[in-house]
Amino acid sequence: MSDQRAAVITGASQGIGAALVTAYRKIGFAVVANSRSIRSSDDPGVVTVAGDVADPATATEIVATALDRFGRIDTLVNNAGVFVAKPFTDYTPDDYATVMNTNVGGFFHLTQRVVEPMVRQGGGHIVSITTTLVESARSDVPSVLASLSKGGIAAATKSLAIEYADRGIRVNAVSPGLIDTPLQGGATPEQLAEFHPLKKAGTVEDVAHGVLYLEQAPLVTGEWLHIDGGQSAGR
Ligand SMILES: NC(=O)c1ccc[n+]([C@@H]2O[C@H](COP(=O)([O-])OP(=O)(O)OC[C@H]3O[C@@H](n4cnc5c(N)ncnc54)[C@H](OP(=O)(O)O)[C@@H]3O)[C@@H](O)[C@H]2O)c1
């Protein structure tokens, strides 16, 4: 097995995922980066796999690529996700299918396939990006499908942390507040800042910093780390 650790990062073409690729490369990991539209990288330490995480075949291809190119998977970051904010009764069956298949299906298919090599290796780290809306709903951002899907991932994070603790696999989540990425549809940092008690918008580097903290915290598992300017604490 190679000495260089390897991370799989989904949703890596832009936003938080792209920042995570940079952050993991800086601490010396090789990276398998995925998104539907991702292009190949000039960095020999980054291999890309284009595909929809909702499709189990994408998960199979990502794991096969990581093991073929790097011989190991030390970390999985489940970052790919979609956000559809609407009043509850406005959600369509298509909205439901897209959000659940991408967020929950993407988490399930890839996490399941990554656990096996991690058990063989004697450990690993799985971290998923949820949202602080799971615990602190807002009347001005109705988003039940975000809570349903990311709330499931948050709960599963604790379940998996306990199920695999004796096999050396840590499982954590990061709960961002409002982070300045294309997902925010052009909202300015000043507008995003208004949602946070700290009155600062989040940056992709803020989230990457939190993920790297968890990466380097061997006694931390089953944790939901909030990177949300105080949003989950109250208003
Ligand atoms: N920004 C925020 O304020 C915020 C807050 C809380 C939580 N989050 C969560 O943080 C994560 C990243 O968000 P972001 O703000 O960086 O979003 P973003 O800018 O919209 O980027 C989303 C990434 O996911 C990929 N993606 C979307 N659907 C996919 C699919 N079915 N299969 C594979 N890749 C897919 C996209 O690339 P392709 O289009 O190429 O597939 C893109 O790389 C998401 O899970 C989001 O829910 C974000």
The pLDDT value given to residue 194: 94
d(CA 14, CA 221): 27
Ligand 1 within 6 A of CB of 210: no
Ligand 1 within 6 A of CB of 176: yes
d(CA 128, CA 38): 20
Which H or E element spans position 76?
Answer: strand 75-78
CATH H-level superfamily of 6-233: NAD(P)-binding Rossmann-like Domain (3.40.50.720)
pLDDT one-digit tens code per residue, 135-189: 999 999 999 999 999 999 999 999 999 999 999 999 999 999 999 999 999 999 9
Q: Calculate how far, in angstroms, residue 7's C-alpha sits from the geometric centre of ligand 1.
A: 17
Are 125 and 74 within 8 A, CB to CB? yes
**Hunting for tokens 């600062």 — which residue is that?**
200
Q: Calculate how far, in angstroms, residue 164's C-alpha sits from the geometric centre of ligand 1.
A: 27
- Backbone φ, ψ for residue 76 (5° rounding): -120, 125
Q: Which atom of ligand 1 is nearest to the CA of 180?
A: 1
pLDDT one-digit tens code per residue, 63-117: 999 999 999 999 999 999 999 999 999 999 999 999 999 999 999 999 999 999 9
Ligand 1 within 6 A of CB of 209: no
Half-sphere exposure in the Cβ direction for 67 (13 Å, CA): 14
> Is residue 199 helix, strand or coil?
coil
Q: Which atom of ligand 1 is nearest to the CA of 202?
A: 3
pTM to 2 decimal places: 0.98
Residue 68 CA: distances (Å) to CA of 71, 147, 205:
6, 36, 30
Non-local (6+) Cβ contacts of 138 within 8 A are 195
Ligand 1 within 6 A of CB of 179: yes
Q: What is the CA radius of gyration of the chain?
A: 17
Mutate to test the pocket of ligand 1, among 8, 13, 16 (most ligand atoms within 8 A of CB): 16
Task: Give the dihedral sign, CA 57/63/26/209.
Answer: positive
Instruction: List the strands of the sheet with 75-78, edge to edge.
Output: 46-50, 30-35, 6-10, 75-78, 124-129, 169-176, 224-227
pLDDT one-digit tens code per residue, 6-63: 999 999 999 999 999 999 999 999 999 999 999 999 999 999 999 999 999 999 999 9
pLDDT level of residue 1 (50, 70, 90 thresholds): confident
CA–centroid distance for 43 within its chain: 22
Instruction: Report the nearest-CA residue for atom 31 of ligand 1.
Output: 52
Q: Which atom of ligand 1 is nearest to the CA of 15?
A: 16
- Backbone φ, ψ for residue 43 (5° rounding): -80, 120
Half-sphere exposure in the Cβ direction for 17 (13 Å, CA): 26
What amino acid occupies position 169?
I
The pLDDT value given to residue 156: 98
The pLDDT value given to residue 12: 98
The pLDDT value given to residue 214: 99
Instruction: Report the nearest-CA residue for atom 36 of ligand 1.
Output: 11
The pLDDT value given to residue 2: 85
Ligand 1 within 6 A of CB of 11: yes
How many helices (DSSP H) and strands (DSSP E) are in the chain? 7, 7
Mutate to test the pocket of ligand 1, among 20, 22, 36 (most ligand atoms within 8 A of CB): 36
The pLDDT value given to residue 212: 98
